[in-house]
Chain A
């Protein structure tokens, strides 16, 4: 476990939030925000909006899987809960759609916290089994719902959306900027939380439960908090998805969706801040180019997932980090490659 924790720690380097990286990030977001002003293809724009929503979802999931180290495979049910919650409020009440979105996020956070208590009694593979089962039950209940509350198999239609009064192009742009802002804020929030007391406690407990507990860190308290934070972000993502699509279906938490999102996370690099962003963007591009051949698409996704996990278990961001360190060490010390094997990674991580 300690060797595993050590190596993972090297892969899960924290985001060095400085003025330099901050301004690069802000600049990148600003450039991306300009795209809809010059580019008007509705199909491509809607794909980008979906990518932003998935980046939000995947960042929140990554926070639980990679940063907190809790193998929660029920996260898509939380995401769906946010979507259904926001959708139901939008349909059945007159409150502002933004309030409904917030309500969906808070509801999802509550459900996530409720899921945390039984889940955190378990360890290892049982955690993933319990959460996986939870998602299956939720999906199954909605699929078989004949009461008309959730719409059953066909999903919840006629969600009003955030911008009912705008023209199609205006609405698309508005969604584009909203989801971009939400995604950027989520990534920023995760990068920030990793450095706070909460993030430090989560990483400590992830790497060594006994040591963390011995130093007075309550694993239960911080992990429940992590479930809440992550659930809120996922719920907001779900609400955005429902209002952007105008409907939400039980298939958003299906096995196919889950396998795609897990692939995104693993390819980018679990536990890294930018891993989910890179993985999501990359896979969306691959998926879009294979959209006419769904079976081929999933075959390729499965193979890519397998190859990445077997050859680069730390994901692309992790590999880039290793490569950068090697180059830096090679440049500074004239050919020693072994410096990355020292404790340096651990110290950087806690800095």
Chain B
């Protein structure tokens, strides 16, 4: 029973974090048809903001979250402007693949600039909240994790509200549904793209503040979140927001179950094996649209 509770609670926590990073990736893919490989570095940038503000300056966590949001928003928008915007509308190559490479190049640059500035050593980020909660006899959950899950869910809900209600949000959804129709309705397409990538990066950055508290801030801190986010978006189907959220919790559940029953280090290979099977059986993911006819 204790195992079951442990699995479920940690599934919810993990799923919320993965959801936050993955939802940004799926949003970007839905709008731009770009699989943004720089999202991991945004998590890393967020964790360094957390370290700088919480540990060095000793300010309020809310300040850290706001700064991380603004900084990674700017970083994401700039990433879009230099690595995706110049390639838009230019024929002669496979856009999805080329942007996969260019955003990857940006990720390499950001990661190595961080390595040069901060050094390779891991930096402890003080948890935003101290202490643990005993959920069940023998099952402890740090308040940090609970806060992180709550903030993730809150941000995802805010994003949903923004997309559903606001004028810009509706414009984003219109672009995702039909680019040409949106353009005919005078949606400023070219301004939407940096906005979306900034927004998605900002979500990842805020996630990074909390993840930094759970693990460390280091130049490679973004790699694992990126790998998990990739798994989630493949599983859920790229471009589908509900699919991504289901997939995030499903992946969180699988990871928690594997960690508790077998060993934490086997979580990643088993997840990839699951993904392998999912892709072979249902190539467009849980809720994605089929891309083309198969061979």
In the complex, are the beta carbons of A310 and B86 less than 8 A apart? yes
Separation of A294 and B152 alpha carbons in the complex (Å): 35
Asked if B269 lies at the interface with its beta carbon under 8 angstroms from chain A, I say yes
Binary per-residue interface labels of chain B (207-238) against chain A in the complex, 1 for a CB within 8 Å, 0 otherwise: 00000000000000001000100110010001
Partner of B101, one of A123, A209, A220, A305: A305
Distance in Å: Cβ of B25 to nearest Cβ of chain A: 11
List the A residue with the shortest CB-CB distance to B94: A4
Binary per-residue interface labels of chain B (49-88) against chain A in the complex, 1 for a CB within 8 Å, 0 otherwise: 0000000000000000000000000000000001100110
Asked if B255 lies at the interface with its beta carbon under 8 angstroms from chain A, I say no
Q: Which of B165-173, B179-187, B287-295 contacts A (4 or more CB under 8 A)?
A: B287-295
Separation of A124 and B288 alpha carbons in the complex (Å): 14
Partner of B83, one of A129, A130, A140, A310: A310
A-B contact sample (12 more), CB < 8 A, given A125-B35, A133-B231? A7-B93, A121-B279, A124-B94, A125-B238, A136-B268, A220-B295, A255-B223, A259-B105, A296-B112, A296-B116, A298-B115, A313-B90
In the complex, are the beta carbons of A299 and B113 less than 8 A apart? yes
Partner of B272, one of A137, A220, A303: A137
In the complex, are the beta carbons of A137 and B269 less than 8 A apart? yes
CB interface residues, A 94-130, toward B, < 8 Å: 118, 120-126, 128-130
Q: Which residues of B contact A120 (CB under 8 A)?
A: 295
Interface residues of A (CB under 8 A from B): 3-4, 6-8, 11, 71, 118, 120-126, 128-130, 132-134, 136-137, 140-141, 144, 209, 213, 219-220, 255, 259, 262-263, 266, 295-296, 298-299, 301-303, 305-306, 309-310, 313-314
User: B-side binding surface: helix, strand, loop or mixed?
Assistant: helix
Separation of A290 and B280 alpha carbons in the complex (Å): 42
In the complex, are the beta carbons of B109 and A306 less than 8 A apart? yes
In the complex, are the beta carbons of A125 and B100 less than 8 A apart? yes
Separation of A229 and B151 alpha carbons in the complex (Å): 50
- Mind listing 22 A-B residue pairs with CB under 8 Å? A3-B91, A4-B95, A71-B94, A121-B280, A121-B294, A128-B97, A129-B35, A129-B230, A130-B234, A130-B276, A133-B231, A133-B234, A136-B272, A140-B268, A295-B112, A295-B113, A301-B108, A302-B108, A305-B105, A305-B108, A306-B82, A306-B106
Q: Which residues of B contact A219 (CB under 8 A)?
A: 295
Separation of A133 and B232 alpha carbons in the complex (Å): 12
Distance in Å: Cβ of B231 to nearest Cβ of chain A: 7
In the complex, are the beta carbons of B109 and A303 less than 8 A apart? yes
Q: Which residues of A contact B104 (CB under 8 A)?
A: 259, 262
Q: Which residues of A contact B284 (CB under 8 A)?
A: 126
Q: Which residues of A contact B90 (CB under 8 A)?
A: 313
Asked if B191 lies at the interface with its beta carbon under 8 angstroms from chain A, I say no
Distance in Å: Cβ of B107 to nearest Cβ of chain A: 8
List the A residue with the shortest CB-CB distance to B107: A302
List the A residue with the shortest CB-CB distance to B85: A310
Q: Which residues of A contact B223 (CB under 8 A)?
A: 255
The total of chain B residues at the interface (CB under 8 A) is 51
Separation of A6 and B115 alpha carbons in the complex (Å): 41
List the A residue with the shortest CB-CB distance to B285: A126
List the B residue with the shortest CB-CB distance to A258: B104
Q: Which residues of A contact B35 (CB under 8 A)?
A: 125, 129
Distance in Å: Cβ of A33 to nearest Cβ of chain B: 34
Total number of A-B contacts with CB less than 8 angstroms?
148
Distance in Å: Cβ of B117 to nearest Cβ of chain A: 9
Asked if B273 lies at the interface with its beta carbon under 8 angstroms from chain A, I say yes
Q: Which residues of B contact A129 (CB under 8 A)?
A: 35, 230, 234, 279
Interface centre among B94, B98, B100, B108 (most CB of A within 10 A): B108
Q: Which residues of A contact B227 (CB under 8 A)?
A: 136
Interface centre among B97, B106, B116, B280 (most CB of A within 10 A): B97
Asked if B10 lies at the interface with its beta carbon under 8 angstroms from chain A, I say no
Asked if B240 lies at the interface with its beta carbon under 8 angstroms from chain A, I say no
Separation of A122 and B285 alpha carbons in the complex (Å): 11
Separation of A128 and B98 alpha carbons in the complex (Å): 12
Asked if B96 lies at the interface with its beta carbon under 8 angstroms from chain A, I say yes
Asked if B283 lies at the interface with its beta carbon under 8 angstroms from chain A, I say yes
Separation of A125 and B83 alpha carbons in the complex (Å): 17
List the B residue with the shortest CB-CB distance to A205: B295
Distance in Å: Cβ of B294 to nearest Cβ of chain A: 6
Asked if B102 lies at the interface with its beta carbon under 8 angstroms from chain A, I say yes
Distance in Å: Cβ of B98 to nearest Cβ of chain A: 6
Q: Which residues of B contact A128 (CB under 8 A)?
A: 97, 100
Q: Which residues of B contact A295 (CB under 8 A)?
A: 112-113, 115-116
List the A residue with the shortest CB-CB distance to B113: A299
Given contacts A133-B272, A305-B105, A306-B106, contact A125 B279 (CB under 8 A): no
Q: Which residues of A contact B295 (CB under 8 A)?
A: 120-121, 213, 219-220
In the complex, are the beta carbons of B94 and A266 less than 8 A apart? no
In the complex, are the beta carbons of A118 and B280 less than 8 A apart? yes
List the A residue with the shortest CB-CB distance to B290: A123
List the A residue with the shortest CB-CB distance to B283: A122
Q: Which residues of A contact B266 (CB under 8 A)?
A: 144
Asked if B138 lies at the interface with its beta carbon under 8 angstroms from chain A, I say no
Separation of A303 and B265 alpha carbons in the complex (Å): 34
Q: Which residues of A contact B95 (CB under 8 A)?
A: 4
In the complex, are the beta carbons of A314 and B92 less than 8 A apart? yes
Asked if B275 lies at the interface with its beta carbon under 8 angstroms from chain A, I say yes
In the complex, are the beta carbons of B291 and A4 less than 8 A apart? no
Q: Which residues of A contact B83 (CB under 8 A)?
A: 306, 310
